[in-house]
Copies of this chain bind each other. A is one copy, B any other.
Amino acid sequence: MKHYDAQDLENLPSRYRAHFINSCTGFKSANLLGTISEDGITNVAIFSSVTHLGSNPPLLSFILRPNTVKRNTYDNILKMGVFTVNHVNQNFIREAHRTSAKYDGGVSEFDKTLLNEEYLDGFKAPYVKQSRVKLGCEFVNEYFIKENDCHFIIGAIKHIYVDKEIQAEDGWLNLETAQTVCIDGLDGYALPQILNRFSYAKPDENVRSLSDLGS
C-alpha cells in the first residue's frame, strides 16, 4: 500500500489534498438544503455532511464551512429558524452539483437549475419537488468548531415525507429503492445497492441476515 505520513500530506498541492482528504473518510450523504430569506428569496445548496445525530428526539447535524457560498444557507437558517433536507436522486445529480456554484445573494438556484421548489403543509422553507425523501427541520443549536472555523449545526426533524414503497415494515428506508445517491469526495456521485441487512449483534453469536426486510 502507498503510505502518506503527516509531512507528505502537508506537502501535497492544495487541490490534490482537497480531493484526497475529502474522499478518504468514505462515502458521504448527498442532500440538498432548502432555505428562504426574510425577503422571500429561496436558496438550495448541496451538502455532503448531513448525518444522523439521534432518534429520540429526532436530530440531524451538518457542517458549514467558513465564508463559502453556503453562507446564504447559514444566514437564512439563523433568521428563519427552518430548513429542508432533500435526498439527491440519481436522476438529478448534475443539477444538484450545479447548486454549488457561487451565485449572488439575490439569485435563487431554483431559477438557475432544473430543480423545482414546493411548499408542504404550511412549512416556510422550500422542499425540492424531485426528491423522494424530504425532511422539514427546525434549527436547534450550533457549535463553533475552533479547529478550522466551521459551524456544527443541529436540526430537529419535524416532518418527513417518503414514497410509501421505500419503507420496510420495521420503519427502515430502503434507500436503493429510493435511488438515493451518495458522494465520493468533492465531485463524485455514486449509486448504492443494498448487499444485506443484519440482526442486532450479540457477543459470541453469529448475526442473521435480514435481507428479506429490505424490499
Contact = CB atoms under 8 A, between A and B. Distances in A.
Interface string A78-109: 00000001010010011001111111100100
Nearest to A210: B187
A104 B106 CA distance: 57
A171 to B, nearest CB: 4
A36 B48 CA distance: 31
Contact of A26 (B63, B182, B199): B182
A158 B207 contact: no
Contact of A161 (B3, B120, B145, B181): B3
A204 to B, nearest CB: 7
A1 B195 contact: no
Contact of A52 (B25, B112, B189): B25
Contacts of A53: 63, 145, 147-148, 150
A189 B180 contact: no
B163 A1 contact: yes
A190 B175 contact: yes
B21 A58 contact: yes
Given A101-B201, A189-B196, 15 more contacts: A1-B134, A2-B162, A2-B163, A3-B120, A4-B160, A5-B121, A19-B170, A22-B172, A49-B52, A61-B63, A94-B206, A97-B198, A112-B204, A147-B154, A190-B192
Interface of A: 1-6, 9, 12, 14-31, 48-61, 63, 65, 85, 87, 90, 93-94, 97-104, 107, 112, 120-121, 132-135, 140-141, 143, 145-148, 150, 152, 154, 157-164, 167-168, 170-176, 180-182, 184-207, 210, 214
